[in-house]
Amino acid sequence: MVWTGQSLFHWHANTLIAPNEKLTEDQKRRVGYFVLHEGRWRLVNEGLPDLLDVSNRTAVPVGDRVELKDGQQILPARGEGGRLVVVQMVKA
């Protein structure tokens, strides 16, 4: 579940990274955030060089954003430990 302004960190993108006191300064930095803009949810990429919208095979460069849609698949990090995010939109 996300809300506007919610931060995304390295441990959300990679299963091999856990939030704890042993993180490097780089691993502690926010790498993205979610925002509701003009009625559309977006993920803004601040530091995920491999962010990929798998649904349409489009890279999302750092500094860009991707609109979130129901059923969409997003890969925030490639390689070992990289998570696959499946978007589920629920109306409240």
Does some domain include residue 91?
Answer: no
Instruction: Domain count for the chain, please give it.
Output: 1
| pLDDT tens per residue across span 3-41 | 999 999 999 999 999 999 999 999 999 999 999 999 999
For 5, which DSSP code? Answer: T
Does 32 reside within a domain?
Answer: yes
- Establish if 59 belongs to a structural domain: yes
The answer to the question of residue 23 being in a domain is yes
For residue 11, the model assigns a pLDDT of 96
Q: Scan for tokens 């490097």, then name that residue.
A: 24
Tell me the per-residue pLDDT of 68-86, one tens digit each, with 9 for 90 and over. 999 999 999 999 999 999 9
Closest C-alpha to 23, from 35, 14, 33: 14
Residue 54's domain comprises 7-86
Give the tokens for residue 73. Answer: 């698949």
pLDDT tens column, 41-63: 999 999 999 999 999 999 999 99
74 three-class SS:
strand
- The CA-to-CA distance between both ends of the chain, in Å, stands at 12
58 belongs to a structural domain:
yes
Q: Rounded to an integer, what distance in angstroms lies between the CA atom of residue 85 and that of residue 74?
A: 5
- Whichever domain contains 80, its CATH number is 2.60.200
